[in-house]
């Protein structure tokens, strides 16, 4: 168990990351702030919005509805300074191998480096190969989009199926959905990730092999779920096309593993490469974004990269106290480590951003869900929050009850587009009014006196304490550029939190054990004799499954 207030003094004299000099002051300050209501802070300072809001390009961040004062922010910024956020930031942008357990650089920023300044890994400027792959993706996508690239019977491609999981699925899936208003009218993009056969089967049911193009997306090209689904899709395709030579027109690969791609039967000429310095959950900017390029075109994809680059430039050069990702990260640390908040809600008020929570779950929790610091020491402070969420307006009629009147403190990000993609202005106004009402209600609450004045009965049930923190992030419009900025904003927030917690945010050893055990269990599911090599529960469940299941195979 780790302490919920990141603050205990270390006994051995070595200052840990959260035992830095400023932490004592932050602890004392937290003791004061715990009793302060935001309602009073707003009443005392009519300029609070101006003080605690920041515009970067087409993104506005209002962080005034947080339990902070100027003193809070200056102490938190000192924490960032003491943690050497600026130094780590330079190490990342400079291509240092900050992913120490895998001995890799962390350079998703190079993938969208639209200024094209050299970025070196082991002395080699990676920009020429980054640019070459972007070119190839664009040229390939153009052939498919224009109809020049035909299937084996001469038909145009109508359906793209991305087969991948985790970062090879969630990022492109979220972006393709977010940019639906920009999509190519002929091309439908599907995503298959789940190893539950229902996913691949249901998806392929409605498709015609003659007009379907598969993208097998896997950094390693060894992931069991992806490879099983890819082999199934290949068999499904061959069942109709009857000739392996046709595979070249219907299967392309995105990977770092050329040999495995060739072994699968995909012509390496149809492989789009990326590199080990791109983490899976940070890879949508790489060739993993091929489905995005096919859906919205190379020009829009470049706008997405440009948006991310604009946020990279802001993150790299803005002072820490006017730096959007840094501010979001410091607020995250403030609630996580001082207020004991365990989770963080992502609440998009934009239908097209409905997959953002799932995307950020992986981005954040696979990065900072760690209990060992970068040097291998067990931490004695909470690290990554539980990230969760759903479209806000639906959440209002589901889980917001707990946000307003539950016993937990759950900081929330409200993400909103000022201009909608539809012309249904009345709908949009209702959406916006609800977003505003929710953040106001969370902050203000409703006092006993106000409640009494409005309603006589069940007053205690109807009181809202308020003082629940939220950020509002307003996009002018959900364009590729704004989306690129938004995603990069969160990527850098995650990075800064990881630096403050002294984590390696770029490995993911926590996913390995389950993978290992699954490969051991797989052959046991249909073993002739009862299985006995596990704990009693796992043995019993395997044996129950052996008895009760009726294996079926086939397309
Ligand atoms: O198992 C976790 C993970 O390694 C993620 O980090 C990654 O995004 C996903 O699996 C998919 O991996 P790959 O792209 O190698 O198939």
Mean pLDDT by runs of 10 across the 555 residues of the chain is: 44 61 95 98 98 98 98 98 97 98 98 97 97 98 98 98 98 98 98 98 97 97 97 97 95 95 92 97 98 98 98 98 99 98 98 98 98 96 97 96 98 98 97 98 97 91 97 98 99 98 98 95 96 98 95 74
φ, ψ dihedrals at 488, nearest 5°: -65, -35
Residue 346's SS3 state is strand
Whether 371 and 383 have beta carbons less than 8 Å apart is answered as yes
Catalytic residue among 225, 361, 366, 491: 366
Residue 271: closest CA among 293, 253, 246, 245: 253
Q: Per residue, what are the HEC states of 428-465?
A: HHHHHHHHHHHHHHHHHCECHHHHHHHCCCCHHHHCEC
CA-281 nearest atom, ligand 1: 8
User: What is the per-residue pLDDT for 11?
Assistant: 45
- Is residue 124 within 8 A of residue 507, CB to CB? The reply is no
pLDDT at residue number 15: 53
Nearest atom in ligand 1 to the alpha carbon of residue 167 is 8
pTM: 0.96
Tell how far the Cα of 115 is from the centroid of ligand 1, in angstroms.
Answer: 29
- Ligand 1 mean position to 107 CA, how many Å? 17
Q: What is the pLDDT of residues 16-51, one digit of tens each?
A: 677 888 999 999 999 999 999 999 999 999 999 999
Distances in Å between the Cα of 351 and the Cα atoms of 177, 346, 412, 421 are 9, 13, 18, 10
Atom of ligand 1 nearest to the CA of 223: 16
Pick the catalytic residue: 117, 201, 427, 515?
Answer: 515
d(CA 212, CA 539): 42
pLDDT at 16: 65
| Coil vs helix vs strand at 335 | helix
Report CA dihedral (510, 515, 516, 518) to the nearest 10 degrees. 140
- What spacing in Å lies between the alpha carbon of 110 and ligand 1's midpoint? 20
Residue 352 near residue 421, CB atoms below 8 Å: yes
Bridge partners of residue 446, in order along the sequence: 464
User: Of ligand 1's atoms, which has the minimum distance to the CA of residue 280?
Assistant: 8
DSSP for 257-299?
Answer: -HHHHHHHT--GGGEEE--TTS-GGG-TTTGGGHHHHHHH-HH
**Angstrom distance (rounded) from CA 178 to CA 2:** 38
Burial of 184 (0-12, 13-18, 19+ CB in 10 A): middle
The rounded Å distance from CA 172 to ligand 1 centre is 14
CA of 228 to the centre of ligand 1 (A): 14
For atom 16 of ligand 1, which residue has the closest CA? 218
Probe residue for ligand 1, chosen from 104, 219, 258 as the CB with the greatest number of ligand atoms within 8 Å: 219
pLDDT tens column, 381-433: 999 999 999 999 999 999 999 999 999 999 999 999 999 999 999 999 999 99
Q: Torsions phi, psi of 321, nearest 5? A: -80, -5
Mutation choice for ligand 1 from 171, 280, 504, CB with most ligand atoms inside 8 A: 280
Q: CB within 8 A of 55, min separation 6: which ones? A: 61
Predicted local confidence at residue 19, as pLDDT: 80
Please tell me the distance from the alpha carbon of residue 229 to that of residue 235, in angstroms, as a whole number: 10
Per DSSP, the three-state class of 60 is: strand
**What single-letter DSSP state applies at residue 338?**
I
Residue whose structure tokens are 């949009």: 428
Strands 251-255 and 271-273: parallel
Taking CA atoms only, the protein residue closest to ligand 1 atom 6 is: 280
| Closest approach atom of ligand 1 to CA 366 | 6
Residues with CB under 6 A from ligand 1: 165-168, 218-220, 223, 226, 280-281, 366, 508, 511
Distance 508 CA to ligand 1 centre (A): 9
What does the DSSP assignment read for 88-131?
Answer: HHHHHHTT---BTTTTB---HHHHT-TT----EETTEE-HHHHH
Which atom of ligand 1 sits closest to the CA of residue 170? 8
Residues 148, 205, 245, 397: which is the catalytic one? Answer: 397
- Measuring from atom 9 of ligand 1, which residue has the nearest CA? 166
Q: Does 477 participate in catalysis according to the annotation?
A: no
Active site residue 201: no
Contact present, 337 and 413 (Cβ < 8 Å): no
In the annotation, is 231 catalytic?
no
Token readout for 291 is: 């489905």
**Cα of 473 to ligand 1 centre, how many Å?**
29
């Amino acid at each position: 168990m780790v302490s919920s207030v990141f603050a205990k003094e270390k006994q051995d004299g070595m200052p840990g990351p959260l035992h830095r000099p400023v932490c004592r002051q932050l602890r004392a300050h937290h003791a004061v702030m715990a009793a302060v209501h935001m309602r009073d802070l707003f009443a005392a300072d009519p300029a609070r919005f101006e003080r605690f809001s920041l515009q970067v390009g087409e993104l506005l961040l209002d962080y005034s509805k947080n339990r902070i004062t100027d003193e809070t922010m200056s102490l938190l910024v000192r924490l960032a300074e003491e943690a050497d956020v600026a130094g780590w930031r330079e190490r990342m942008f400079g291509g240092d191998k900050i992913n120490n357990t895998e001995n890799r650089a962390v350079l998703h920023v190079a993938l969208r480096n639209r200024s094209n300044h050299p970025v070196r890994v082991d002395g080699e400027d990676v920009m020429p190969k980054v640019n070459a792959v972007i070119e190839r993706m664009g040229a390939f996508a153009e052939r498919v989009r224009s109809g020049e690239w035909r299937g084996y019977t001469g038909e145009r491609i109508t359906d793209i199926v991305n087969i991948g999981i985790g970062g090879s699925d969630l990022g492109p899936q979220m972006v393709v959905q977010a940019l639906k208003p920009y999509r190519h009218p002929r091309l439908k993009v599907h995503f298959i990730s789940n190893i539950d056969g229902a996913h691949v089967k249901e998806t392929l049911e409605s498709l015609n092999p003659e007009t379907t193009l598969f993208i097998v997306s896997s950094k390693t090209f060894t992931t069991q779920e992806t490879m099983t689904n890819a082999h199934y899709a290949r068999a499904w395709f061959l069942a109709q096309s009857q000739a392996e030579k046709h595979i070249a027109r219907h299967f392309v690969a995105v990977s770092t593993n050329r040999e495995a791609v060739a072994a699968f039967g995909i012509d390496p000429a149809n492989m789009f490469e990326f590199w080990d310095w791109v983490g899976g959950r940070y890879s949508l900017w790489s060739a993993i974004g091929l489905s995005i390029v096919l859906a919205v075109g190379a020009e829009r994809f470049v706008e997405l990269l440009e948006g991310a680059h604009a946020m990279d430039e802001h993150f790299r050069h803005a002072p820490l106290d006017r730096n959007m990702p840094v501010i979001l990260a410091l607020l995250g640390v403030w609630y996580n480590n001082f207020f004991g908040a365990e989770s963080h809600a992502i609440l998009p008020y934009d239908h097209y951003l409905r997959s953002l929570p799932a995307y950020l779950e992986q981005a954040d929790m696979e990065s900072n869900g760690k209990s060992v610091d970068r040097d291998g020491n067990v931490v004695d402070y909470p690290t990554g929050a539980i990230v969760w969420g759903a479209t806000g307006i639906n959440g209002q009629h589901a889980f917001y009850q707990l946000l307003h009147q539950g016993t937990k403190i759950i900081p929330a990000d409200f993400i909103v587009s000022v201009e909608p993609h539809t012309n249904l202005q009345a709908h949009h106004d209702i959406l916006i009014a609800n977003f505003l009402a929710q953040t106001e209600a969370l902050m203000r609450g409703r006092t006993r006196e106000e409640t009494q004045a409005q309603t006589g009965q069940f007053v205690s049930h109807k009181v809202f304490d308020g003082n629940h923190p939220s950020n509002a992030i307003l996009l002018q419009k959900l364009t590729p550029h704004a989306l690129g900025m938004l995603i990069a904003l969160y990527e850098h927030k995650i990075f800064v939190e990881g630096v403050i917690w002294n984590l390696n945010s770029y490995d993911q050893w926590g996913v390995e054990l389950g993978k290992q055990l699954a490969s051991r269990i797989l052959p046991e599911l249909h073993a002739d004799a009862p299985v006995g090599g596990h704990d009693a529960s796992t043995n019993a469940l395997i044996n129950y499954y052996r008895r009760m299941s009726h294996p079926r195979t086939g397309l």
